[in-house]
Amino acid sequence: MTGFGRRLADAVTRRGPLCLGIDPHPELLRAWDLPVDADGLGRFCDICVAAFADHAVVKPQVAFFEAHGSAGYAVLERTIGALRETGVLVLADAKRGDIGSTMAAYAQAWAGDSPLAADAVTASPYLGFGSLQPLLDTALANGRGVFVLAATSNPEGIGVQRAERGGRTVAQAIVDAAAAVNRDAQPEPGSVGVVVGATLATPPDVSALGGPVLVPGVGAQGGRPEALGGLGGAHPGQLLPAVSREVLRAGPDVTALRAAADAMRDAVAYLA
């Protein structure tokens, strides 16, 4: 089984270093003249699948599907399947994090054999990096990836993520722990990535991570595509900028949405 790290590297080489978000926020549904219900959610996703079919990675924001209950999850399952049929790698932005048997159940849902399982999933390590072990093990066994939150750009995260212990920040400790997992699961590229906000003035050092770095916050949140090169000491091909609203506001016309996505891919192509 080819690991996620290798599949991601190949996809970025062929389709460009960009992760496009599917964020069906109620305001976006209304802006696209769609009902704020499961039917509108499904139509929103169908448009996104059609527009993003030749890109490397697409990231559905799970919370906006969960808000519609079981009908929303049904749309998410269908969307994951439709994206994968086009050759797109799907990153489920679920930000799961728990302990013990509960974490193991989340692992089966998002990285095992569940209909919700995607190519990769985001996870929160703030119950301790070791609490993610069931997810890391399940993902590795199934050729999937995990992106671990390290340094986010929201102001509420500063007190925890930038706290120092033993001369390094908590965020750096998370990056280092992810790097250790990737070293143990040679060969590179590793399948455990980290999440680092695009707008951070002092990001953690990711040069020894041996895996991908998801960089949210590009576009509408203030991150500039042209300013990402070398973020945190990243190597060429390591950064995966994530863009949602900046592109989605071009919808609902499929042609316009595809053009916006392609323009953003061109803007970050130098990172490959």
Catalytic residue among 6, 25, 84, 95: 95
> For the range 40-44, what are the long-range contacts, defined as Cβ-Cβ under 8 Å and sequence gap of 24 or more?
41/65, 41/68, 41/71, 41/72, 41/75, 42/75, 42/78, 44/251, 44/252
Confidence of residue 206 (pLDDT cuts 50, 70, 90): very high
Residue 186: pLDDT over 90: no
Confidence of residue 161 (pLDDT cuts 50, 70, 90): very high
The answer to whether 59 is a known catalytic residue is: no
Tokens of 172: 């750096």
Residue 222: pLDDT over 90: no
Residue 38: enclosing H or E segment and its boundaries? helix 38-52
Confidence of residue 154 (pLDDT cuts 50, 70, 90): confident
The SS3 call for residue 10 is helix
Confidence of residue 187 (pLDDT cuts 50, 70, 90): confident
Tokens of 109: 């849902």
Q: What is the distance between the alpha carbons of residues 91 and 157, in angstroms, rounded to a whole number?
A: 22
The SS3 call for residue 238 is coil
| Mean pLDDT calculated for residue range 153-167 | 90
Write the DSSP symbol of residue 17: S
Confidence of residue 165 (pLDDT cuts 50, 70, 90): confident
Whole-number pLDDT of residue 259: 98
Q: Does domain 9-271 have CATH number 3.20.20.70?
A: yes
The closest of 234, 136, 222 to 178, measured between CA atoms, is: 136
Domain ranges of the chain: 9-271
Q: What is the pLDDT of residues 104-130, one digit of tens each?
A: 999 999 999 999 999 999 999 999 999
**Cβ 57 vs Cβ 240: under 8 Å:** yes
Write the DSSP symbol of residue 203: P
Q: What is the distance between the alpha carbons of residues 120 and 8, in angstroms, rounded to a whole number?
A: 10
| Mean pLDDT calculated for residue range 75-81 | 98
| Prediction pTM value | 0.96
Q: What is the distance between the alpha carbons of residues 264 and 15, in angstroms, rounded to a whole number?
A: 12
Tokens of 88: 């797109």
